């Protein structure tokens, strides 16, 4: 376990957990925390065995958003400092959005502003049913910025994104699933177990296959069908090269021997030994 000032990082084999740890301020992101997140991501990047990164918060908040005092109010009269604090925030968001490992947001409570964005850039979001999501920016006279509008536009429909950005109305974790902001909502008492089960399933998969699946998804949403087919074939050949054709040599061989059913479970390299 590595403890940064307001962020804790634990790496356990294939799984890294980044915990925002400033519960007395609802895990609002002050400049030190933005730097802490960068430092945690750097440490995770150096560990090539990590397949999954879980992001969560301590206490009753996932993340209350940008620290409104430390990031906006206090540095406002110094444009350089104001911009530096914003750049620090958006630069870790860019890194996390493009992160090679699978990212899972475990939303345990309040989820506003930059916290809303943090959940929105993760690949998978598991939330407690009674967590509270919101783009509250309109309530202090601005709009969701720094990537938050992008997240709303890419996860929610136009009608829903605009409704919640324009009204600043919050919604529950249960509603977040219907709105496209979360993958699954569970009772708060079951949140840890639900995330652990999904993480265990992911950790059991081939690391190159996980990474390539993310890359192919990101490219596919920007390409037309014909170009996506070309890209997907090229990526299949690249993945086959990286894994020395493991899917043919091991997985499909095991399927032939009826050792597993790929529609229902993963193959096991152990089964060959």
Q: Which parts of this chain interact with ligand COA (CB under 6 A)?
A: 25-26, 28, 64-69, 110, 112-114, 136-137
- Residue 159 CA to residue 161 CA, distance in Å, equals 6
Q: Which is nearer to ligand COA, 34 or 51 (CB)?
A: 34
Instruction: Tell me how far, at minimum, the Cβ of 178 lies from ligand COA, in Å.
Output: 22
Q: Which is nearer to ligand COA, 101 or 134 (CB)?
A: 134
List the structure tokens of 117. Answer: 């964005």
The least CB distance from residue 65 to ligand COA, in Å, is: 3
Q: Which helix (H) or strand (E) segment is 161 a member of?
A: helix 158-167
Cβ proximity to ligand COA: between 50 and 88 the closer is: 88
User: In the complex, what is the shortest distance from the CB of residue 168 to ligand COA, in angstroms, rounded to a whole number?
Assistant: 8
In whole angstroms, give the CA distance from residue 161 to residue 41: 29
How near is the Cβ of 175 to ligand COA at its closest, in Å? 16
Among residues 115 and 251, whose Cβ is nearest to ligand COA?
Answer: 115
List CB contacts of 51: < 8 A, sequence separation 6 or more: 14, 15, 101, 102, 202, 203, 205, 207, 210
Distance between CA atoms of 55 and 104, rounded to whole angstroms?
6
């Amino acid at each position: 376990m590595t403890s940064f000032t307001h962020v804790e990082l634990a790496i356990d084999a294939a799984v890294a957990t980044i915990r925002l740890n400033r519960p007395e301020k609802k895990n609002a992101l002050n400049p030190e925390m933005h730097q802490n997140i960068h430092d945690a991501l750097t440490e995770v990047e150096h560990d090539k065995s990590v397949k999954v990164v879980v992001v969560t918060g301590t206490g009753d908040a996932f993340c209350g958003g940008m620290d409104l005092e430390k990031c906006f109010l206090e540095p406002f009269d110094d444009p350089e400092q104001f911009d530096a604090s914003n750049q620090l925030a958006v630069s870790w968001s860019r890194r996390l959005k493009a992160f090679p490992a699978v990212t899972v947001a475990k939303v345990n409570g309040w989820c506003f502003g930059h916290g809303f964005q943090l959940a929105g850039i993760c690949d998978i979001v598991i939330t407690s049913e009674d967590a509270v999501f919101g783009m509250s920016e309109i309530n202090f006279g601005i709009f969701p910025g720094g990537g938050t509008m992008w997240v709303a536009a890419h996860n929610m429909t136009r009608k829903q994104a605009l409704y919640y950005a324009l009204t600043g109305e919050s919604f529950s974790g249960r509603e977040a699933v219907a709105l496209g902001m979360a993958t699954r909502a569970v009772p708060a008492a079951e949140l840890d177990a639900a995330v652990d089960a999904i993480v265990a399933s992911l950790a059991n998969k081939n690391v190159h296959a996980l990474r390539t699946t993310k890359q192919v998804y990101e490219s596919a949403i920007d390409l037309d069908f014909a170009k996506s087919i070309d890209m997907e074939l090229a990526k299949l050949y690249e993945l086959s090269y990286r894994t020395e054709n493991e899917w043919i040599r091991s997985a499909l061989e095991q399927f032939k021997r009826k050792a597993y059913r790929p529609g229902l479970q993963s193959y096991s390299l152990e089964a060959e030994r």
